[in-house]
Amino acid sequence: MSLADTVELPPELGELRATVERFARQEIAPVIAGYYEREAFPYEIVAKMGELGLFGLPFPEEYGGMGGDYLALSIALEELARVDSSVAITLEAAVGLGAMPIFRFGTEAQKQAWLPDLCAGRHLGGFGLTEPGGGSDAGGTRTTARLDEGADEWVINGSKAFITNSGTEITSLVTVTAVTGRDAGRPQISAIIVPAGTPGFTVAPGYSKVGWLASDTHELAFSDCRVPSANLLGEQGRGYAQFLRILDEGRIAIAALSTGLAQGCVDECLRYVGEREAFGHKLETSQVLQFKIADMEVRTHTARLAWLDAAHRMLAGRPFKRQAAIAKLVSSEAAMVNAREATQIFGGYGFMNETPVGRFYRDAKILEIGEGTSEVQRTLIARELGLPAGF
pLDDT of 71 above 90: yes
Which one of 124, 142, 170 terminates a domain? 124
* Residue 389 forms part of a structural domain: no
Give the CATH number for residue 80: 1.10.540.10
- In which domain, by residue range, is 221 found? 125-236
Claim to verify: residue 246 and residue 379 sit in the same structural domain: yes
User: What CA–CA distance (Å, rounded) separates 260 from 258?
Assistant: 5
Claim to verify: residue 211 and residue 255 sit in the same structural domain: no
Q: What is the pLDDT of residue 213?
A: 97
Claim to verify: residue 329 and residue 348 sit in the same structural domain: yes
Across the range 60-64, mean pLDDT stands at: 97
Claim to verify: residue 250 and residue 373 sit in the same structural domain: yes
Question: How many structural domains compose the chain?
Answer: 3
Across the range 51-71, mean pLDDT stands at: 96
Claim to verify: residue 284 and residue 339 sit in the same structural domain: yes
Q: What is the pLDDT of residue 136?
A: 60
Which one of 63, 91, 124 terminates a domain? 124
The tens digit of pLDDT for each residue in 97-117 reads 999 999 999 999 999 999 999
Decide which of 136 and 192 is more confident.
192
The 3-state DSSP class for residue 214 equals coil
Claim to verify: residue 103 and residue 114 sit in the same structural domain: yes
User: What CA–CA distance (Å, rounded) separates 86 from 105?
Assistant: 27
Claim to verify: residue 190 and residue 273 sit in the same structural domain: no
Long-range contacts of 210-213 (CB under 8 A, 24+ apart): 210/362, 210/365, 210/366, 211/85, 211/359, 211/362, 211/363, 211/364, 211/365, 211/366, 212/85, 212/86, 212/89, 212/363, 212/366, 213/35, 213/36, 213/37, 213/39, 213/86, 213/362
* Residue 390 forms part of a structural domain: no
* Residue 248 forms part of a structural domain: yes
Mode of pairing for the β-strands spanning 186-195 and 153-164: unpaired
The tens digit of pLDDT for each residue in 240-282 reads 889 888 999 999 999 999 999 999 999 999 999 999 888 888 8
Claim to verify: residue 42 and residue 60 sit in the same structural domain: yes
pLDDT of 1 above 80: no
User: What CA–CA distance (Å, rounded) separates 82 from 360?
Assistant: 9
Q: What is the pLDDT of residue 138?
A: 61
Q: What is the pTM of this model?
A: 0.95
Claim to verify: residue 192 and residue 285 sit in the same structural domain: no
Claim to verify: residue 375 and residue 246 sit in the same structural domain: yes
Q: What is the pLDDT of residue 59?
A: 97
Q: What is the pLDDT of residue 8?
A: 82
* Residue 391 forms part of a structural domain: no
* Residue 291 forms part of a structural domain: yes
Q: What is the pLDDT of residue 3?
A: 83
Give the CATH number for residue 338: 1.20.140.10
Claim to verify: residue 328 and residue 278 sit in the same structural domain: yes
* Residue 320 forms part of a structural domain: yes
* Residue 27 forms part of a structural domain: yes
Given pLDDT bands bounded at 50, 70 and 90, which one contains residue 135?
A: low
Claim to verify: residue 232 and residue 307 sit in the same structural domain: no
Given pLDDT bands bounded at 50, 70 and 90, which one contains residue 137?
A: low
User: What CA–CA distance (Å, rounded) separates 82 from 4?
Assistant: 13
* Residue 354 forms part of a structural domain: yes
Which one of 109, 124, 139 terminates a domain? 124
Residues annotated as catalytic are 371
Measured over the CA atoms of residue 276, residue 259, residue 61 and residue 231, the dihedral's sign is: negative
